[in-house]
């Protein structure tokens, strides 16, 4: 792919993390993501699921900062994101997955309508939309996460897909 296409894909991924759109990723973005998910699924921050989501968001932020916040100012700029979260983890998506896993597990629990730790495809689509994905992309992504086509999305599928999305920038990704 050419450099313009690469830059566009990086910009989409950065924007996914920069939930408040102020040009850098910081703790507030992760807290905003947690808050949006709780609101969408009618869950309070005080309950066990809400607490787990905020704890996971904080762990995700700490992991992201540890990898990408090179100058230690508690903000990850687009340059730091490209150099750290994308480039440095490209050969090791598993590390990114482990950083994200507690948040993703908690998010599935919030969206789980009694499906035993899995989320319905339609609920995954809702979660992606409330986090800023366009309607069409959210629909396609949610369906692709249901690898065995039983209408439910498991934690392992979400974690694996998430790591690939943010660390492997392919022409068709």
Query: At closest approach, how far in Å is the CB of 78 from Ca ion?
Result: 10
What is the rounded CA–CA span in Å between residue 128 and residue 144? Answer: 13
Coil, helix or strand at residue 86: helix
Distances (CA, A) of 165 to 9, 45, 48, 51, 92: 10, 28, 29, 26, 13
Supply φ then ψ for residue 45, to 5 degrees. -70, -20
Residue closer to Ca ion by CB (options 68, 152) is 68
Query: At closest approach, how far in Å is the CB of 72 from Ca ion?
Result: 7
Q: Are 3 and 72 in contact (CB under 8 A)?
A: no
Residue closer to Ca ion by CB (options 18, 146) is 18
Q: Give the count of beta carbons closer than 10 Å to the beta carbon of residue 92.
A: 12
- Copy the structure tokens of residue 121: 């495809």
Residue closer to Ca ion by CB (options 60, 142) is 60
The contact set with Ca ion (CB under 5 A) reads 18, 20, 22, 29, 69, 71, 73, 75
Query: At closest approach, how far in Å is the CB of 79 from Ca ion?
Result: 9
Query: At closest approach, how far in Å is the CB of 25 from Ca ion?
Result: 6
Residue closer to Ca ion by CB (options 88, 105) is 88
């Amino acid at each position: 792919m050419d450099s313009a296409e690469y830059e566009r894909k990086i910009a989409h991924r950065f924007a996914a993390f920069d939930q408040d759109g102020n040009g850098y990723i910081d703790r507030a973005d992760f807290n905003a993501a947690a808050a949006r998910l709780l609101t969408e699924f009618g869950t309070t921050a005080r309950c066990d699921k809400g607490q787990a989501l905020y704890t996971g968001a904080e762990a995700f932020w700490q992991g992201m900062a540890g990898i990408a916040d090179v100058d230690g100012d508690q903000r990850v700029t687009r340059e730091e994101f490209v150099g750290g979260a994308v480039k440095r983890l490209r050969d090791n998506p598993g590390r990114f997955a482990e950083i994200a896993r507690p948040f993703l597990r908690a998010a599935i629990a919030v969206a789980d309508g009694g499906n035993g730790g899995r989320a319905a495809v339609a609920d995954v689509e809702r979660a992606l939309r409330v986090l800023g994905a366009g309607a069409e992309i959210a629909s396609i992504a949610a369906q692709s996460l249901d690898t065995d086509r039983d209408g439910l999305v498991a934690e392992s599928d979400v974690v694996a897909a998430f790591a690939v999305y943010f660390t492997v920038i392919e022409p068709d990704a």
